[in-house]
Amino acid sequence: MKQSINFYSFRQAFYDHDRQNNFPNGGLSVLWDYLEPYEEDTGEEIELDVIAFCCDYNQMTFEEVIKAYCLDASECVDLSEQRDLVMDYLNDNTSVVGEVGDDEVIFAGF
């Protein structure tokens, strides 16, 4: 049995599991805006599994991605160049869900 949900129910599920901090600063909206059309486009129903979403997707600053994946940012002089470096790397290696604010990105873990 499947149940359709809206963004409020989606967000509330993260709070119910005490996982609201996994996707802060508007990250839950970005994740919702990625998953909802994905489900419609593929015709594949997605189960609302908060723990799985927290394991499958990461939200990091560009600087955190650079450090976590040992990217060479020595020639990056500003945030825009860091963003380009990170986005190129992530687009080459995984699925990018979207950007959060000016310096964060959500992507599928790999």
CB 65 within 8 A of CB 103: no
Per-residue pLDDT tens for 55-89?
Answer: 999 999 999 999 999 999 999 899 999 999 999 99
pTM of the model: 0.91
Compute the distance between CA of residue 61 and CA of residue 59 in angstroms, rounded to an integer: 7
Tell me the C-alpha to C-alpha distance, in Å, between residue 41 and each of 32, 71, 89, 101.
Answer: 14, 33, 26, 26
Per-residue pLDDT tens for 82-108?
Answer: 999 999 999 999 999 999 999 999 999
